[in-house]
């Protein structure tokens, strides 16, 4: 069984539509794929409709959180997408991304970059708008060669010249909300230090005590030493460990199934979840 529990579509900052994502996941030989767009479940219905036979979809989202001034991402799986409190919080974070992107564009204009909201809105389509879309606009304008090159202090990195913060949820509150909606939580790429500051191990212990289910260990942004350290920490704290690609289509270099999750861990995640069930592919109406 090949299980990839962290992927993005055009519902946020990926470049595959949900239909393309599930087809590509099947073509990559995956048995299970999770759709975890930033702060939105908008892609789920399309992914379900297009799901190829033999591929199972885990519905989820990646929630933007902040703890003591440090940004972090919380993967939430199999929660009830209609549960009102979690839905309201997702919408608050997602909606705040629009004025925030516009503020970053204003800063870029002050720096002499002729990027416009129309350009970024076109790139984002109906996806929840984020820095990768602004970064793609900078690539189009020839300001930087690749999306990654926009995540520097000169441009969009945390605290960078054109960076603006957005509303982000307290992770303790996020864990509480996801649990109340029947979902399971996994701390995404907790050791991704090249993206900016990471939370200390003591904070992960605090989140574990508050009901965090697991941490993502096998991830492109973790070097071997970081993975070993995180595996040890998870054992100490009784946390599940996952592996996943964090696939973003052509906006990042990683490929589907680049890292995978142990079937036993996947089984435990599904046993703990009560808000939604994994969806087995029935051939996909849209695929016929």
Q: What number of other Cβ atoms are within 10 A of residue 112's Cβ? A: 7
Q: In angstroms, give the least distance from the CB of 8 to Zn ion.
A: 6
CA distance 29 to 3: 10
CA distance 6 to 173: 21
16/246 with CB nearer Zn ion: 246
Contact between 195 and ligand AMP per CB under 6 A: yes
62/80 with CB nearer Zn ion: 62
Retrieve residue 152's tokens: 């520097």
Question: According to CB under 5 A, which one of 67, 120, 188, 233 is a site residue for Fe ion?
Answer: 188
User: Per-residue contact track with ligand AMP, 213 to 252, x per CB under 6 A?
Assistant: -----------------------------------x----
Contact between 101 and Fe ion per CB under 5 A: no
- Cα-flanking dihedrals φ and ψ of residue 11, to 5°? -70, -20
CA distance 141 to 170: 36
CA distance 104 to 152: 14
Retrieve residue 190's tokens: 């907790």
Contact between 13 and Fe ion per CB under 5 A: yes
Contact between 259 and ligand AMP per CB under 6 A: no
Applying CB under 6 A, which part among 79-87, 128-136, 269-277, 279-287 lies near ligand AMP? 128-136
Retrieve residue 281's tokens: 């592919």
3-class secondary-structure state, position 150: helix
User: Per-residue contact track with ligand AMP, 41 to 80, x per CB under 6 A?
Assistant: -----------------------x----------------
User: Per-residue contact track with Fe ion, 247 to 286, x per CB under 5 A?
Assistant: ----------------------------------------
Q: Is the dihedral of CA 155, 70, 215, 173 positive or negative?
A: negative
Q: In angstroms, give the least distance from the CB of 135 to ligand AMP.
A: 7
Q: Which helix (H) or strand (E) holds 185?
A: strand 184-187
CA distance 21 to 27: 10
Applying CB under 5 A, which part among 12-20, 43-51, 216-224, 254-262 lies near Fe ion? 12-20
Contact between 130 and ligand AMP per CB under 6 A: yes
DSSP 219: -
In the complex, which residues of this chain contact ligand AMP (CB under 6 A)? 13, 38, 64, 130-132, 147-148, 151, 195, 248
């Amino acid at each position: 069984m090949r299980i990839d529990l962290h992927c993005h579509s055009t519902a946020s900052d990926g470049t595959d539509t949900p239909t393309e994502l599930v087809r590509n996941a099947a073509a990559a030989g995956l048995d299970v794929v999770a759709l975890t767009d930033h702060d939105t479940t908008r892609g789920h219905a399309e992914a379900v409709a297009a799901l190829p036979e033999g591929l199972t979809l885990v519905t989820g989202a990646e929630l933007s959180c902040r703890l003591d001034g440090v940004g972090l991402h919380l993967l939430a799986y199999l929660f009830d997408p209609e549960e009102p409190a979690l839905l309201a919080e997702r919408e608050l974070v997602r909606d705040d991304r629009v004025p925030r992107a516009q503020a970053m564009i204003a800063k870029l204009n002050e720096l002499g970059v002729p990027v416009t909201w129309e350009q970024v809105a076109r790139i984002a389509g109906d996806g929840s708008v984020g820095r990768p879309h602004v970064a793609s606009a900078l690539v189009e304008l020839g300001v930087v060669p690749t999306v990654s090159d926009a995540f520097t202090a000169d441009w969009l990195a945390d605290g960078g010249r054109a960076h603006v913060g957005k509303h982000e949820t307290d992770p303790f509150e996020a864990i509480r909300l996801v649990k109340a909606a029947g979902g399971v939580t996994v701390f995404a790429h907790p050791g991704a230090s090249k993206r900016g500051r990471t939370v200390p191990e003591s904070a992960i212990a605090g989140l574990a005590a508050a009901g965090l289910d697991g941490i993502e260990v096998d991830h492109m942004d973790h070097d071997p030493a970081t993975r070993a350290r995180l595996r040890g920490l998870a054992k100490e704290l009784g946390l599940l460990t996952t592996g996943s690609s964090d696939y973003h289509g052509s906006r990042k270099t990683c490929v589907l199934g680049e890292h995978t999750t142990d079937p036993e861990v996947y089984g435990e995640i599904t046993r703990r979840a009560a808000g939604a069930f994994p969806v087995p592919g029935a051939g996909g109406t849209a695929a016929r």
